[in-house]
Amino acid sequence: MEKKISETSRIKMTILVTGAAGFIGFHLSKSLLKKNNQVIGIDNLNSYYDVNLKKKRLQQLKKNKNFFFYKIDIQEKKLLNYFKKKKIDCVINLAAQAGVRHSLKDPYAYINSNILGHLNMLEFVKKKKIKKLIYASSSSVYGGNKKLPFSVEDRVDQPVSLYAASKKSCELISECYSKLFGFQCIGLRFFTVYGPWGRPDMATFIFTKNIINKKKIKVFNFGKMKRDFTYIDDIIQGIEGAITCSKKAHTIYNLGNNNSENLMDFIKTIEENLGLKAKKDLLPLQPGDVPETFANIKTSKRDLNFSPKTKISVGIPKFIQWFKEFYNLE
């Protein structure tokens, strides 16, 4: 049943954000609300990780009168029945089954959520005649590519995980819909996003938690890993650049920090900010993983005015401060 959503002259845009209770969706919704946009947030609140964390994020968003939340799964076709009378300016699809390694254990979740769910959003945009869809892709689509930094012009037909394959599938389907039905699609390939309110299954969270609890941290490829760690505020700036981007066709962009960091340096920065030493369990490279990621952001700078500024020396202390406050460790 459709809730009554207020109309006000103050509102700049009405934006539908899927995965609004997720890490990136929460930060994006919060930023959009601060800029006087109306946000319709949807999320299925699944139990892939701590639902309480998702609910705490929603509590923050619901403090704003221009945020409207619906518990909906984008896999369900009935999604198309919602918001029939509501004018929506832009859809940002951030809902997905995340996690590269988990895709090896539960492949159906990735097909259903990432591909079928994205198809439903494309149909929703088509039927409501919405002019723009922005969606989350991933640096994982670069798979086994050897050339660095990764460029959007590179071939991406060597995925090494089902997660990567599902994200590449979304890009192909979006290309098709954009050409056939004439609405703008923008795919954003995120590179290792971290920051406050982050996901418990991601490295920054796991490392911080285990070091505090004096437990071992798993360090894959014997520590010989490099990642383009990208702070959440920079990612949000890139997404908001996509909202105002005037490109008409389906376009894909990298959102990364344009700086590939050694994993061991990343761990050292966490150790220094915690004042504790990590107990490391050095392990081989895992199936579905890659030794290095590095984003070429030339076109993102040009078209989205994307300008990542946050070094790990700045971003990690902010994450640790949030972690300690959230879990009452101070």
Domain membership flag for residue 18: yes
Residue 249 has pLDDT above 90, yes or no: no
Residue 6 has pLDDT above 70, yes or no: no
Domain membership flag for residue 263: no
What pLDDT does 5 receive?
55
Residues in the chain, overall count? 330
Q: What is the 3-state secondary structure (H, E, C) of 66-127?
A: CEEEEECCCCCHHHHHCCCCCCCCEEEECCCCCCCHHHHCCHHHHHHHHHHHHHHHHHHHHH
Cα–Cα dist 259/93, whole Å: 26
**How many secondary structure helices (H) and strands (E) does the chain include?**
10, 13
Q: What percent of the chain has pLDDT over 70?
A: 95
When pLDDT is cut at 50, 70 and 90, the band that residue 83 belongs to is confident
Read off the pLDDT of each residue in 122-128 and give the average, rounded to a whole number: 95
Read off the pLDDT of each residue in 99-117 and give the average, rounded to a whole number: 79
| Domain enclosing residue 78, as ranges | 14-198+229-258+293-309
pLDDT tens digits along 204-244: 999 999 999 999 999 999 999 999 999 999 999 999 999 99
Read off the pLDDT of each residue in 160-179 and give the average, rounded to a whole number: 94
Dihedral through CA 64, CA 70, CA 75, CA 78, nearest 10?
Answer: -140
Residue 79, token pair as written in the block: 């999604």
Our count of domains for the chain comes to 1
Domain membership flag for residue 8: no
Domain membership flag for residue 240: yes
Read off the pLDDT of each residue in 2-26 and give the average, rounded to a whole number: 80
Domain membership flag for residue 266: no
When pLDDT is cut at 50, 70 and 90, the band that residue 1 belongs to is very low
Residue 95 belongs to domain with CATH number: 3.40.50.720
* 253 catalytic per annotation: no
Cα–Cα dist 207/325, whole Å: 17
Which residue in the list 110, 135, 163, 177 is annotated as catalytic?
Answer: 163
Domain membership flag for residue 203: no
**Mean pLDDT for the chain overall:** 93
- Three-class SS state of 10: coil
What pLDDT does 95 receive?
93
What pLDDT does 48 receive?
86
Domain membership flag for residue 280: no
Domain membership flag for residue 282: no
pLDDT tens digits along 21-64: 999 999 999 999 999 999 999 999 998 889 999 999 999 999 99
| Among candidate residues 87, 93, 90, 88, the one with its CA nearest the CA of residue 25 | 93
Q: Which long-range contacts (CB under 8 A, 24 or more apart) does 107-114 make?
A: 107/162, 110/162, 110/163, 110/166, 111/162, 111/166, 112/75, 113/74, 113/75, 114/163, 114/166, 114/167, 114/169, 114/170
Q: What percent of the chain has pLDDT over 90?
A: 82
pTM confidence score: 0.94
